[in-house]
Structure 1
Amino acid sequence: MSMHITPGLGGIARRADFGLAAYSFPFTCGLALRDGESRPSEPLGAYELVALALKWRLTRVEMPLNTLLPSTSDADLDQFRENLERSSLSLTVDSGVIDEQTLGVLLPLAARVGARVVRAMPSTVLEGARAALHGGWAAHMAELCRRLERLRPSLEAHDLILAIENHQDASSDDLLTLCEAGGERVGITLDVANPLAVGEDPLAFARKVAPWVRNVHLKDYQVYHTESGYRLVRCALGEGMVPLHDLISLLRELAPEASHHIELAALQARHIRLFEPSWWNGYPPCDVRELLPVLRLVARHARPPGEDWRTPWERREAAEEVIRYELEQFERSVDYLYDASSGLPKPTAPEQS
């Protein structure tokens, strides 16, 4: 994640080799709505995210195409590609659960708009709660492997990498199994905080999968003890429990070609119930000593008992407050990454678009 010189609006500006992901702003982008609530009156779309990336001198954006572009017509895709090229920004495209029909439509669109990487998810499981998955995790993994084998020709034809994210469901071993099934066109989107959702240490997880990492989600969590385990709550980078400095250094060394995006967590807290026996359904047997690094990390960083862990979204605060919350956390995260403590020199002010 070194600094380099790229053209910016109004001249030459130093820009950092990391970017932003749309899911840092789930409410502001209109990707997450509360019951009875409509989308923001002026949601962030694809072009607004580009402007935000340029304002903060970033070099990358990650987003879903079908919800943030006016349409996925050839004309709209070509216009957006021209905008990205003019702005010297690279694009990663978001998809959902690995699905042949969905990706059969999306891969040509991603290639046309100039993306090289498409991020996908193994499942809709959250909080490591595999027990709720119909049919069981092992059967689901076997089906994913078959899908990936069948997707190989399409990925090759469109010169794309499918980067599978550990989306609070997959272990490090699961990701390696999927990469083996998919071949050289399948890699990993490493969410640096999500190993906590499956009881794995973030640094050990990253070290294990690093050779296959093609995309990185930079995220942090504050953590709260519960009787069932721990609760993970969204925060700005550098304000939580994730060892970001060490992770960035590790990935710079072991996955030097991977793209990096700020992708702050969901607006809902995630409750990891690993002290409940039923939570472990769907996991292979585990030596309890393997959990010690995570439990130490939680113990070291746990927030004070009684502190309100709810986000403004969960407190049902006004839409304006939720938007402010998302944008301010993003800005503090950019500051953190530019700070010398993370190895990136900080500019004097964001570039104005």
Structure 2
Amino acid sequence: MPPYPASDDGSHTPSDPHTKRRAGFGVAAYTFPYSCGFAQRPEQPRITRPLDAWGLIDLAAAHHLSSVELPLLSTLPDLSASTIKRLRMELAERDLSLVVDIGVVDQATQGLLPVAADAGGRVVRVMLSTILEGARGDFATWTAYLDEMRQRIIELVPILEEHDLVLALENHQDASSDELLALCEAGGPRIGVTFDVVNPLAVGEEPFAFARKLGSFIRNVHLKDYQIFATPSGYRLVRCALGQGVIDWRAMRALLHEVAPGAFLHIELAALYGRHIRLLEEEWWRGYPPRDVREVVPTLRLLAGHVQPEGHPWQTPWERQAPGEEVAAYEMEQFEASVRHLQALETMEVTRQLT
């Protein structure tokens, strides 16, 4: 979808670079883990009015975004035909595209794919596991698990073809670029990648190299940024608004336009907990095959150039046990700042094209 409507002559370039345009990106529900009701803790009641699919659609439309990424099971009241029809109509009325989030590929995935297609989705984001922080444990077990996931994915291909869907496997702080590449090649053209921009850091890889290696297999992108905090064991990744962390977004947008120009882009700020990557501990490496240290150096160089000052506070409001209202405000403020940052970059790009 173009970032702004076509003019009378069919072009997509506005005459005034300051004209309000449709953004070339959307928003994923997991930007708001507390506000959507995904994040819960025993000592705090669940949010009484979680942000649901309808609220996320309203939010995307109000910010002139181009798409939404939703887990249907947790943002809709049910998956009845009438609810799915309403969702599709609401999206069409707002001129929004949809990426459906299903979670880990399991036995339920097969039944959810037709629902995703009925809702208007063409790309379905899935996960290989719930592993976080690159903590893969025993490598032999991980290898066997990947073999099992490979078979599950291949079995889904006929359903994906029947419903004209692409299954986009996320690098969810678990899989390496080589592993994702092998799964895509095994599954064929219906299998792609949801590229989380900063999650390569969780497996000791550099984000730009990760994106370039996966290239056209990238069908969906999670626009996320992290601030870096050094620890004796490695480094901690803490969520922040886009433009306030480790990623050069102008360069990343240019790279994605080069290698995956048709991919969906979604702000997905995600975790309310800092992710501790214990890359300096020998035990952490048990989950990985041997690697040439030169492959890790670009990652360490990037981290060293962006590490926060020692003693700088890193805990999020959620980790500080702040009231729910403060957590919700924190999520929304980071989303708003991220939208502003990306829109400013888009305006700069349009202005440059016109001069």
TM-score band w.r.t. shorter chain: over 0.9
Which of 228, 232, 241 does residue 227 from structure 1 map onto? Answer: 232
Name the counterpart of 1:130: 136
Name the counterpart of 2:16: none
In the alignment, is residue 38 of structure 1 matched against residue 45 of structure 2?
yes
After the TM superposition, which of the residue ranges 124-133 and 155-164 deviates more from structure 2?
124-133
Q: CA shift at 1:37, angstroms?
A: 2.2
Name the counterpart of 2:306: 301
**What is the SS of the residue equivalent to 1:16?**
coil
Name the counterpart of 1:103: 109
CA contact (8 A) 2:3 2:66 kept: no
Q: 1:342 to 1:218 in 2, by over 3 A?
A: farther
Name the counterpart of 1:335: 340
Name the counterpart of 2:4: 4
Which of 217, 221, 239 does residue 222 from structure 2 map onto? Answer: 217
Q: CA shift at 1:341, angstroms?
A: 7.5
Question: Which letter does structure 2 place at the counterpart of 1:183?
Answer: G
Q: CA shift at 1:70, angstroms?
A: 1.4
CA contact (8 A) 1:336 1:342 kept: no
Alignment TM-score, normalising by the size of structure 2: 0.92
After the TM superposition, which of the residue ranges 247-256 and 337-346 deviates more from structure 2?
337-346
Identity %: 54
CA contact (8 A) 1:65 1:94 kept: yes
Name the counterpart of 2:74: 67
Name the counterpart of 2:15: none
CA contact (8 A) 1:121 1:165 kept: yes
Alignment TM-score, normalising by the size of structure 1: 0.93
Unaligned stretches of 5+ residues in structure 2: 8-18
What stretches of structure 1 move > 6 A for 4+ residues in a row? none
Name the counterpart of 1:54: 61
In the alignment, is residue 251 of structure 1 matched against residue 256 of structure 2?
yes
In the alignment, is residue 283 of structure 1 matched against residue 288 of structure 2?
yes
In the alignment, is residue 268 of structure 1 matched against residue 273 of structure 2?
yes
Name the counterpart of 1:312: 317
Q: CA shift at 1:340, angstroms?
A: 3.4
Q: CA shift at 1:39, angstroms?
A: 2.0
Name the counterpart of 1:183: 188
**What is the SS of the residue equivalent to 2:68?**
strand
Q: CA shift at 1:47, angstroms?
A: 0.4
Distance 1:345 1:320 in 2: 37
In the alignment, is residue 168 of structure 1 matched against residue 167 of structure 2?
no
Name the counterpart of 2:98: 91
Q: CA shift at 1:183, angstroms?
A: 1.1
Distance 1:238 1:118 in 2: 27
**What is the SS of the residue equivalent to 1:130?**
coil
Q: 1:245 to 1:28 in 2, by over 3 A?
A: same
Aligned residues: 340
Name the counterpart of 1:351: none
**What is the SS of the residue equivalent to 2:87?**
helix
Question: Which letter does structure 1 place at the counterpart of 2:225?
Answer: D
CA contact (8 A) 2:196 2:221 kept: yes
Unaligned stretches of 5+ residues in structure 1: 347-353
**What is the SS of the residue equivalent to 2:5?**
strand
C-alpha root-mean-square deviation of aligned residues, in Å?
1.8
